[in-house]
Amino acid sequence: MIASASRPSGLDIPFVEMPPQWREAATDQPSESSESLSPGSLIADRYRVLRKIGEGGMGMLYACLDTVLSREVAVKLLQRNLAAEPLVAERLMREAMLAAQLRRHVAQVFDCGMLPTGEPYIVMELLTGRDLYAILRGSGPLAPEELSAAMLQVCDGLAEAHAKGIIHRDLKPENLFCATQPDGSSVIKIVDFGVSKQVSGRRLRAQTNPGESVGSPQYMSPEQITAPSEVDARTDIWSLGVVMFELMTGVLPFRGAGTAGVCASVLTAPTPSISDYRDDVPPALEFIVRRCLEKDRNRRFPDVLQLSDALRALASTGPGSTTRFAAARVTDSAPLPEDTDEVPRPRRRWVGVVSGLVVLGACCAVLGQGIREGRIRVPTAAELRQLPSRIGAIRFSIPFRRPAPHE
């Protein structure tokens, strides 16, 4: 089942901070706003409830049997009292439509619809495992090589989403799920596209007001706070920087009292150093995190491909240990140019320029020394004027080769 250890933030932002993904099912009594479905109940006359596996601020998550295809699935069902809110219902349906476009490192969506009673639902693949926050809470901060392997998978999924013009806008450890595969390996799945924004195409747009900030404040980029309608893929890169910092230190880089304090910290506070919390993180990895957390988005990695390249280069220079996240495919993180097997990497052209200047300077020095010692004679002006006629005479004095008889 999907086991999540999401934590409440204590920040009261109606329709701004999305509730934690799904809390692990407990024995609490059902709330007045929604009643849990008992095992054996049918959803949409097709999905038979097996058990309740999660509950969040917006709805319930059930493990169900698809009676048509005979497979277990997860069904996310919005609470009935929230289904009357058009904005909330649109967000849930938008999550289904956006996630259905993606294939790599994203929880697959199989179906969606509306119940006769008015609640929208999404049918997804049933994942087994824990989200990264649950892993952080249970096992402590990740080792640098574990973090790099996990983030390479996240970058793989984000590269596909960004290529389709989809920005997640709410990346956090709770929305990065470590799913256990049938062979025992682990794969990272990005979940909860409920506040995503599509910046290309006409069909889907963000269903929020232009001035409304959407996401979890601790993970929001500066531009997501100040100009939410102008965010681009680099806002997800900022959020990944916050996630990486937290997964390696156990604390958030930007904190404050309430929403205003958190936002002020994101906008003005300097980025703390990971080395203040632990001393085994390679400087290159800390540099990668700090670049993700540049407040000026023009100074961050321009896209997740370059972030992925930096993480992969770091992994190639580190110890060759195998981590729990290393088994997943990370080599085809985005569409590649035609007739090539890898993404073009920036060249260090300045090295060639400096080398050329050094060679040119050496030649000039040798020439000057030869002139001063008299070993090289500088032609006079009269000799230079006669040079074209001399070249012409040499040119026409060369005998032409007679063709052989057989030619």
Judge: domain 129-317, CATH 1.10.510.10. Answer: yes
Give the whole-angstrom CA distance, residue 400 versus residue 405: 15
- Asked if 231 and 290 count as a contact pair (C-beta separation under 8 A), the reply is no
Kindly give the confidence (pLDDT) of every residue in the chain, 407 residues in length, as a single tens digit, with 9 standing for 90 and above.
Answer: 444 444 543 333 322 333 333 333 333 343 333 578 999 999 999 999 999 988 876 778 999 999 999 999 999 888 777 766 777 777 777 777 877 888 888 888 899 888 888 888 989 999 999 999 999 999 999 999 999 999 999 999 999 999 988 888 889 999 999 998 888 888 999 988 754 555 544 333 333 444 444 568 899 999 999 988 888 999 999 999 999 999 999 999 999 988 899 999 999 999 999 999 999 999 999 999 999 999 999 999 999 999 999 999 988 776 655 666 764 443 444 443 444 344 444 445 666 666 777 777 777 777 777 777 777 777 777 777 777 777 666 555 445 555 555 55
Q: Of residues 131, 170, 236, 309, which has the active-site annotation? A: 170
Give the whole-angstrom CA distance, residue 202 versus residue 179: 33
Q: Is 170 a catalytic residue?
A: yes
Determine the topology of domain 2-25+37-125 in CATH: Phosphorylase Kinase; domain 1 (3.30.200)
3-state secondary structure of 312: helix
β-strands 2-3, 129-131 pairing: parallel
CB proximity list for 263: less than 8 A, separation 6 or greater: 217, 220, 225, 256
- Asked if 186 and 324 count as a contact pair (C-beta separation under 8 A), the reply is yes
Q: Cα(first)–Cα(last) distance of the chain, in Å?
A: 85
Give the whole-angstrom CA distance, residue 222 versus residue 234: 11
Nearest to 76 by CA among 107, 41, 122: 122
Burial 128-157 (b: 16+ CB within 10 A, else e): ebbbbbbbbeeeebbebbbbbbbbbbbbbb
Q: Contacts from 335-344 at CB under 8 Å and sequence distance 24+?
A: 335/163, 343/305, 343/309
3-state secondary structure of 149: helix
| Every domain of the chain and the residues it spans | 2-25+37-125, 129-317
Give the whole-angstrom CA distance, residue 14 versus residue 296: 28
User: 187: number of CA atoms within 13 Å, CB side?
Assistant: 18
Nearest to 170 by CA among 137, 200, 192, 147: 192
Give the whole-angstrom CA distance, residue 403 versus residue 395: 20
CB proximity list for 39: less than 8 A, separation 6 or greater: 49, 50, 51
Instruction: Give the predicted TM-score (pTM) of the model.
Output: 0.68
Q: Would you give the distance in Å from CA 197 to the centre of its chain? A: 14
